[in-house]
Amino acid sequence: MPTEKTTGMDSQLLEAPTKHEKMPSAEEILGNLEEAPKITDKLNIFPFEWRVETPRLMEIYEQSRDPGWNPGQLPWYTLEVESMTQDQRYAIAYWWALLSVFDASGPAVFARAMIHAYEVHEEDAIRKCFLSVTRDEMNHEEVCGRAINCLTPGGPLGYEPETELGRLARNNIEWLYHNGSRYWSGYKKAIEHYPMPVLFSSFLFGEVASSTLFHSMYESTQIPVFREAFRNIGRDEGRHLSFCLALLKEVLPKLSEEDKETVTKQFRAGFIFLSGILYEPPHEFWQLPDTFIPAQRLLEEKAREAGFGILTLEKRKENWRTAVVRLKTIVEPYGVKFPALPEIDVDGETVAFDADKIVPIF
Ligand SMILES: [Fe+2]
Ligand SMILES: [Fe+2]
C-alpha cells in the first residue's frame, strides 16, 4: 500500500541507461583473447613503469614543484624606463637578448631532452627532472621577454632603433640569433647521439656557468626588479646544478673510458659556447663580424652606467675561471680529464672541437 509520500513517485523514476540481457563471462572472453601487436619501435614513449633509481633526484623534484617565484609578480612597476636614456635602454635590452640565446632556448632544449628520456625509457626521476627544468627555463625566458619589451617595446627585433648604439645592438642581436639557430641544429643531433651520463655532464657545465653568472649579476646590479630576477633565476639554476650532481654521482663512476673522453671533448665545446655570455665569444663556434666585439663592449659600458651589473671583462675572466675550476674539481675524481682552456689560463688535455654536437645550455 503506497503511503501518501510515495504516491506519484513511480512516474518520476528514471530508467537505468544500460540494460544487459546477460552479463559477459570473463572466462569466455579470456578464451577469445587476441594478443596485442608487439611494440617494435624502440623509441616508443610509453612509460611502462615508474621506477626510481636515483631517489635524490626525486627529492629535488619535490622541492622544485613550487619554485617560490613567478616572473609576472616581479616588481616591474619599479622599473623607471623614463629615467633612462635611449642608449641605456638599448644596452640593457641588448644584454637580455644576448642572454636569451642561452636561457630562452632552455624550454625547447629541455623539453626535447624530456621527450628523449621518455623514448629511451629512462627512470621516472630523470623524466620529471627534465620537466622541472623546462618549467623553470620557461620562467627565465619570460623574464628575458618582459625585460626586452619594457625597455624596447616590440624588441628585440620588431622596433626601429633611433641611435647609432641602438643600430649596433640590432646588428649584434641578428648575429647572435644566427649562432643560436646553429646551436639548435647541433643540439638536435647531439641529444640522440650521446648517452644520458654524457648529456648530464654537458648540462652540468651549463648549470655551473649559469649559477655563477646570475649570482654575479645579482650582486652587481642596482636596478631592483633585475636584481630580484637574478636572485630567483640564480636559485633555480642552483637547483638544476643539484639535479646534475645527484645523477652524475651515480653514473660517473660507471662511465666507460670512451664516454669519459667524450665528456672531456664536450667540456671544451661547452666552454666555447658558454663563453659567448660568460666571457667573450671565441671564433671556433661563434660566427661573428669584426664589428661585434667592439659594439658589444660599448653596449656593456652603457648598461653598466645605468646600474646594470655586467662584470668587466677582467672580472668575467676571473669569474668564469672560478666556475670552470669548480667543475674540474667535481669531475676529476671520477677520472674524467679536463680540457685545456688557454683562454682563461686553465691547463688540461688538448681536444678537438666539433661545432655540430654542442649540448650545454643554461
Ligand atoms: Fe638551468
Ligand atoms: Fe635558465
Evaluate whether residue 3 is within a structural domain. Answer: no
**238 against 7, higher pLDDT:** 238
CATH number reported for the structural domain that contains residue 246 in this entry = 1.10.620
Residue 152 lies in a domain: yes
Mean pLDDT value of segment 58-68: 96
Dihedral sign for Cα atoms in the order 187, 189, 190, 195: positive
Give the confidence band of 3 by pLDDT, cuts at 50, 70, 90.
Answer: low
Write down the pLDDT at residue 209: 92
Separation of first and last alpha carbons in the chain: 79
Q: Per-residue confidence at 110, pLDDT binned at 50, 70, 90?
A: very high
Distance 95 CA to ligand 2 centre (A): 15
What angle do helix axes 313-331 and 224-251 make, rounded to 10 degrees? 20
User: What is the rounded distance in angstroms from the CA atom of residue 83 to the CA atom of residue 4?
Assistant: 82
Range of the domain at 109: 56-63+82-357
**Ion ligand 1, residues whose Cβ is below 5 A away:** 237, 240, 362
Compute the mean pLDDT over every residue in the chain, rounded to the nearest whole number. Answer: 93
Q: Which ligand is nearest to the CA of 214?
A: 2
Residue 347 lies in a domain: yes
> Could you tell me if residue 23 is inside a domain?
no
Residue 66 CA, ligand 1 centroid: distance in Å: 16
At a CB cut-off of 8 Å and minimum separation 6, what does 265 contact? 339, 351, 352, 353, 354
- Read off the pLDDT band of 20 (50, 70, 90): confident
Q: What is the pLDDT of residue 315?
A: 94
Given a cut of 70, is residue 2 above it in pLDDT? no
Look at the chain and report how many structural domains it folds into: 1
Q: How many CA atoms lie within 13 A of 58 on its CB side?
A: 9
Which residues, 6 or more positions from 263, have their beta carbon under 8 angstroms from its beta carbon?
197, 198, 201, 202, 255, 331, 336
Residue 24 lies in a domain: no
Contact between 287 and 179 under an 8 Å Cβ cutoff? The reply is yes
Q: What is the CA(199)–ligand 1 centre distance, in A?
A: 14
Q: Is residue 29 part of a domain?
A: no
In the prediction, which pLDDT does 9 show?
77
| pLDDT at residue 12 in the model | 84
Residue reference for cell 666539433: 354
Is 185 among the domain residues?
A: yes
3-class DSSP assignment, residue 341: strand
Distance 169 CA to ligand 1 centre (A): 26
Is 113 within a domain?
A: yes
CA of 54 to the centre of ligand 1 (A): 20
* pTM flag (> 0.85): yes
Query: How far is C-alpha 34 from the geometric centre of its chain's CA atoms?
Result: 45
CA–CA gap between residue 89 and residue 52 (Å, rounded): 48
Closest ligand (CA of 241) = 1
Provide mean pLDDT across the span 322-343. Answer: 93
